[in-house]
Amino acid sequence: MMTWEIVAYAYDAAVHCVGCAEERFGAEALATDTAEDREGNPVHPIFAGDEEEHGPCDTCGDAL
């Protein structure tokens, strides 16, 4: 896995897998940085090279 690959997204004060984020916002909105959560905050990608470790997806429970 390359360090620049997106492994999850942060929104609604939680971390979600790519599949759940794409299902909610659509791949195009995520790719163009136009997705916003329920409070109007931008959705942030989490990259494989980020030093933080995250637990499972807060939507589906799959490992990130």
* CA–CA separation, 18 and 16 (whole Å): 7
pTM across the whole model: 0.89
Q: Cα(17)–Cα(61) distance, rounded to whole angstroms? A: 9
Quick one: pLDDT at residue 46?
94
What is the structure's pLDDT at 30?
Answer: 96
pLDDT of res. 37: 96
Mean pLDDT by 10 residues, the chain (64 residues): 88 96 97 94 92 87 90
Q: 37 near 12, Cβ under 8 Å?
A: yes
